Structure 1
Amino acid sequence: MTTTSPERLRITDLRDPVLTDFQRQTWAQAESYPIPLNLDTVLAAARERTGLTDFGPDDFHERLSLQLNEIDEDTNRSPVARLTTFLSSVRYAANRQRVLDLLRRHPEIHDIEITAPIVVVGLPRSGTTHLVNLLAADARFRSLPLWESQEPLPRPGDEIGPDGLDPRIARSQRRWDDMLAKSPLVAAMHPMNPDHIHEELELECLDFSSYNFEWASSMAPRWRDYYLAHDQRPHYEFLATMLKVLQWHRGPNRWILKCPQHLEQLGPLMDTFPDATVVMTHRDPVSVVQSAATMNAYGARMNFHHVDVDTVFEYWADRVARLLDAGTRDLAAVPAERRIDVFFDEFMADDIGTVERIYAQTGIEFTGLARAQIDEYLASHPRGVNGQIVYDLRADFGHEPAELRTRFAHYLEKFPMKAEVK
């Protein structure tokens, strides 16, 4: 159940979800379509979809198998979680095939350079999405819209329609419509319209190594431990190749990137993009945990037979702590002159001023045209248009803000900031 005012939305059934009619129908449909969740089934479906046979080096088999097995062997996972995992894995495997096929036919793509990207890094739910969308509104930059991240290359036979739109945009819109039907409040938490600038970790999913799997499945402790135990540099190199593929298709050539995962991968990030400027967002970690745990607990109603809200909360409180510990530990990997700190309260109070400061520090002229393009984005994407979730750390999760905040003391000593949740 959700209580609403004209703009404020309060989720009251996190611990005992009340499914909508559509959610129950989705559950029943997934249950009627059982599918073996294993490597062979996924790769066979990808081959059938693309007509291609080569997936490149098979080191990804171990990673994909682990992700599939974590869902398959958990008896509390829902049929929706099983089907969603299968479909997304097939999409990633098929996209991988198409990219490798393109690279075989056009090896010159490897010679393309990724020059001086601007990378927005920070905790999830800390303003990174709004900031990257503002910067990406400037047409001088290359960015990654959601529709392109979901399908980096057109399918054979794709043609621009009479409306001038790429067919991938329509397919992305159908995915978004389906997501809204299954989880209607997600639009108020994290809009994913086709033109929404997305995280490049979606590109790393083609190599089956990113922390995206944790978000997609509400939590994934086995995958988390494997991912954190392995050097991610090879997968960041894969990411760089993916950016070259996209840049080969269309410019401009200076990238605006964004991903909270980079906070715990500053070494691999800077080794791969040594001339990058890192824009690091900072927000009260208690507010971040409250938001992330609510978002994942809400999504869990479709991923689990029984939702253990306390386990979801502890998972994401721990995950935020790990991100902050790693980001603080490895901060020196980013040259001081190429790190720009953005504090959430200041950004929310003056987002255009924050953008101007980023331009000034990177030596990019903030032109009148750039300002007009950003103003146009703001006018067409008003904040809060889908409502505002009302969070309650105490009522929903039984935790006191001051007690939770002690877990982030080391980070807060280095970056003291306004406490939002009191």
Structure 2
Amino acid sequence: MSNEIRIDDLVRPRLSQAQREALAWGESVRVDFSEENILRAAMERTGLSDFGADDFRARLKVLREEWDGDPEITALSRITLHGYLARYASNRLLIHDTLKRHPEILRQKIERPVIVLGLPRSGTTHLVNLLAADDRFHSLPLWESYEPVPLPGEGPLADGTDPRYQRCAAAWARMQATTPFIAAMHPMEPDHIHEELELMGPDFASYNFEWLTMSPRWRDHYYASDQTPHYEYMKNVLKLLQWRRSRAGQSGEPEKRWVLKCPQHLEQLPVLKKVFPDATVVITHRDPVAVIQSSVTMQAYSQRINRRHVATGALIRYWTDRIEHLLRACVRDRHLFAPEHSFDSFFHTFMADEMGTVAQVYATAGLELTPVAQARLDRYVADHPRGKEGKVIYNLKRDFGVAPDELRERFRFYFDRFPVRAEVK
């Protein structure tokens, strides 16, 4: 049986019974995007009331007003987006409370992290999950990124499962029920290693909000803002997680390093260098047309649930601009990380020789690829073959009205700087 996935109703979706029922249920729920409602929900959930510095309220306001004022967002998606804001507000309360009670956390050191960055859909996810198979690294599973601190008084379930893990698994099951092909595009299992930008969420920062729904006002606010304070906030949450793991006996080794990944860093290299000056960075590169094709197809597929109309024209314009912004920043700032502390990974090379790429990453990071580590990496590759959940067949011209070769000309500056291979014809 072929594992090819052809989405022939991308532009005019034929909704499944589960999708129709979910959308109908959403229409029965009223969502209040006021600051009072969101923060009250967080306070009721945690039993806490001190959010720390108030500067986050201005950023929350941008998101609340943009999403509340967008008539294209479905009622079901309004519920989801409100849930994100309430969860981030809850996490902010819990993080601030923990840091107040344990100021020693801020003395933790995040030393010599290995940070993977590059365009979305360029191999960053596979590479970071592969590296995280080596248990000499700290890494950030999705379930822990969603709720870095447990709710007060909440212990393990009867079978020993962390309730945060169970909530993440339940959310993934709901997502698969309404958008079943998403697993082939961007799996979100609880153990999946996630992006540390999720830890900026409680500070109501990062470009992640653009992925949740079309958010041009937020994008412009993000562009105009210095991201350094939000990177520092994220680093403090990493310290908190490292401290919690040490207390739980998961790692008493002070030299244990983090492996992280986030595409946003591509356009924030000066900030990344300032906040993580001793980092080893691995920059992934791929044909921007392949990246855009994959990204907008995933977004369009999700819009059958998230928006009242699938806006392929708006999607191709928005994400072509965003990818160009990321790449122009990379070309401008790539020199900030010296060759001895950085490595460029090209998609075609990585796909042809995964372990060869990994060996170069280890060498750049000054970390020995031991037989034990090699065995763990080999096991991960065997258990996670490419296309395990199916291979999506894309058609940029048919679905988005754009010829790949014409779109690629917009990125000539990038091909002139890096030896990237064109993929989409």
TM-score, normalised via structure 2 length: 0.96
Alignment of 1:299-310 (within 5 A): 299-310=302-313
Matched residue of 2:167: which SS? helix
Structure 1 residue 363, shift from structure 2 partner = 1.4
Tell whether the 8 Å contact from 2:38 to 2:85 is kept in structure 1 after alignment. Answer: yes
Which aligned pairs between 1:308-319 and structure 2 lie closer than 5 A? 308-319=311-322
* 1:390 counterpart residue number: 393
Q: Secondary structure at the match of 1:256?
A: strand
Q: Kindly state the Cα deviation for residue 358 of structure 1 after the two structures are TM-superposed.
A: 0.8
Give matches, 1:69-88, under 5 Å.
69-88=65-84
SS at 1:158 equivalent: coil
Q: Could you tell me whether the CA contact under 8 Å between 1:118 and 1:256 is conserved in 2?
A: yes
Question: 1:122 Cα deviation (Å)?
Answer: 0.1
* Preserved CA contact (<8 Å) 2:280 2:364: no
Match of 1:153 among 149, 152, 158: 149
2:187 aligned residue: 191
Q: CA deviation at 1:6?
A: 2.3
Is the CA contact 1:9–1:390 (under 8 Å) kept in the aligned structure 2?
Answer: yes
Residue number among 80, 86, 111 corresponding to 1:115 in the alignment: 111
For residue 137 of structure 2, what is the amino acid of its counterpart? F
Equivalent of 1:241, from 236, 239, 247? 236
Q: Secondary structure at the match of 1:255?
A: strand
Q: Helix, strand or coil: the match of 1:11?
A: coil
Aligned to 2:224: 229
Matched, 1:358 2:361: yes
- Out of 414, 419, 423, the position equivalent to 1:416 is 419
Matched residues in 1 for 2:354 and 2:156: separation? 35
| Structure 1 equivalent of residue 198 of structure 2 | 202
Pick from 15, 32, 36 the counterpart of residue 36 of structure 1. 32
Alignment of 1:14-413 (within 5 A): 14-161=10-157, 163-217=159-213, 219-250=214-245, 251=251, 253-413=256-416
Greater shift, 372-381 or 292-301, is seen at 372-381
The answer to whether the 8 Å contact 1:267/1:333 transfers is yes
SS at match of 1:330: helix
Count of aligned pairs:
417
Which sits farther off after the overlay, 32-41 or 372-381?
372-381
- Amino acid in structure 1 at the alignment position of 2:170: R
**How far did 1:20 drift?**
1.3
| Matched residue, 1:12 | 8
Which AA in structure 2 matches 1:245?
L
Could you say what secondary structure the match of 1:71 adopts? helix
Cα distance change on mapping 1:420 and 1:264 into 2, 3 Å: same
Give the deviation of 1:158 after TM superposition.
2.8
Partner Cα distance (1:154, 1:279) in 2? 32
TM-fit CA distance, 1:156: 2.3
Aligned-pair distance for 1:79? 0.5
Q: Can you give the 5+ residue segments of structure 1 that lack an aligned partner in the other structure?
A: none
- Quick one: distance in 2 between partners of 1:335 and 1:246? 29
Deviations 1:323-375 (A, max 9, x none): 10111111122223211000001101111111111111221110010011112
Give the Cα–Cα distance (whole angstroms) in 1 for the partners of residues 116 and 43 of structure 2: 35
Contact kept, 8 Å, 1:68 with 1:85, in 2: the verdict is no
Amino acid aligned to 1:221? P
Q: CA deviation at 1:161?
A: 4.0
Partner SS, residue 122 of structure 2:
coil
Report the Cα distance in structure 1 between the residues aligned to 2:388 and 2:156, rounded to whole angstroms. Answer: 30
Deviation at 1:406, TM superposition (A): 1.1
Q: CA deviation at 1:382?
A: 2.6
Please list the CA deviations of residues 43-83 of structure 1 after superposition, one character each: whole Å capped at 9, or x if unmatched.
01111111111111111111111111111111121112211
Please list the CA deviations of residues 296-323 of structure 1 after superposition, one character each: whole Å capped at 9, or x if unmatched: 1111111211122111111111110111
Equivalent pair of 2:285/2:347 in contact (CA under 8 Å): yes
| Counterpart residue type for residue 354 of structure 1 | T
Q: Distance in 1 between matches of 2:63 and 2:76?
A: 16
- Asked if the contact 1:136–1:197 (Cα under 8 Å) also holds between the matched residues in 2, the reply is yes
Task: Say which is worse superposed, 72-81 or 184-193, in terms of deviation.
Answer: 72-81
Alignment partners' CA distance in 2, 1:264 and 1:243 = 21
CA drift of 1:162 comes to 5.0
RMSD of Structure 2 on Structure 1 (CA): 1.2
Matched residue type, 1:329: R
Deviation for aligned residue 1:192: 0.6
